[in-house]
Structure 1
Amino acid sequence: MNEMEREALVKLAEEIATKAHDGQFRRGGIIPYIEHPRAVVERVAGDHEAEVVAWLHDVIEDTSESAESLIEAGVPEYLVAEVVLLTKTREAVYDQYLERIAASPIACRVKIADMLSNLADHPTRKQIRKYARGLLRLTRDSS
């Protein structure tokens, strides 16, 4: 994939996320939700694959988008798989969820950026503890 194709893919992901999160707001109901994926993208800037995943990291979990709809829209299956990996279900045990993410360099990079963004958005003490534990797990040297 050449540079123009990579940039077009990032733009596609941004358009999908912007449309999918339209009308949603962050905590407090003032800031449009799309500002969160934008902040995550900024933290992974320069890595086109991670940027695509960052734009889309919450769309399956929090909107009507599905893995199938992302593929149909033109997002490569391997990047949709990363988005699915980042999609937390109610049944997911947090530590197992983190272990799966830790095994994927793209998902791991995006999740760390996601946690940092969440920590910058007036987290509760409980959220701070959760993200601290998650960050420690995802930044653990596996060698």
Structure 2
Amino acid sequence: MSSESLVQLARKIATEAHAGQFRRCGIVPYIVHPEMVAGRVGDDLDAQVVAWLHDVIEDSSQTPQSLIDAGIPAHLVETVVLMTKTQDTDYEAYLEKIAGSALATKVKIADMLSNLSDSPSPKQIQKYAKGLLRLAR
């Protein structure tokens, strides 16, 4: 499968996984967020795939195996898993894991910039600023 076809597949999976979900405001469909993240990573097709999928494991019934079964390459699924924050993971430890992967770092920075453009609370601004400073090293 070509890289461009993988991006389209990731977009389809994300659109289906986030169907019926909305952003914080309760009005904007959630899929707008992965679309914005994908738009922020430039021409890097692997980063676009990960950007589309970065929240599907965390926010839907998708699993790493279901993504692989759908045709997403294992190395990209591993990056999606790396970006999936669980409730029992400390934020600083999560950022350290992300920082260990250039691909995850690129997508996470795009994710945080997207979140900052979406009416964040003062607490979220502080959180994302801290995260950006850590990942920009």
Question: What TM-score does the superposition give when structure 1 sets the normalisation length?
Answer: 0.95
Cα separation, 1, equivalents of 2:101 and 2:24 = 29
| Partner of residue 134, structure 2 | 137
Q: SS of the counterpart of 2:2?
A: helix
**1:1-143 equivalence runs, <5 A:** 5-140=2-137
Which runs of structure 1 show a deviation greater than 4 angstroms over 4 or more consecutive aligned residues? none
Unaligned runs of 5+ in 1: none
Which SS does the other structure have where 1:88 is aligned? coil
Deviations 1:58-114 (A, max 9, x none): 000000100010000000000000000000000101111000100100000000000
**RMSD between aligned residues:** 0.7
1:15 Cα deviation from its structure 2 partner: 0.2
Residue by residue, what CA displacement relative to the aligned partner does 1:23-79 show, whole Å, maximum 9, x if unpaired? 000011100000000000000020000000000000000001000100000000000
Q: How many residues align?
A: 137
Name the CA distance, whole Å, in 2 between partners of 1:68 and 1:125.
37
SS of residue matched to 1:23: coil
Instruction: Look up the SS of the partner of 1:91 in the other structure.
Output: coil
Quote the Cα distance in structure 2 between the aligned partners of 1:94 and 1:27. Answer: 20
Gaps of 5+ in 2: none
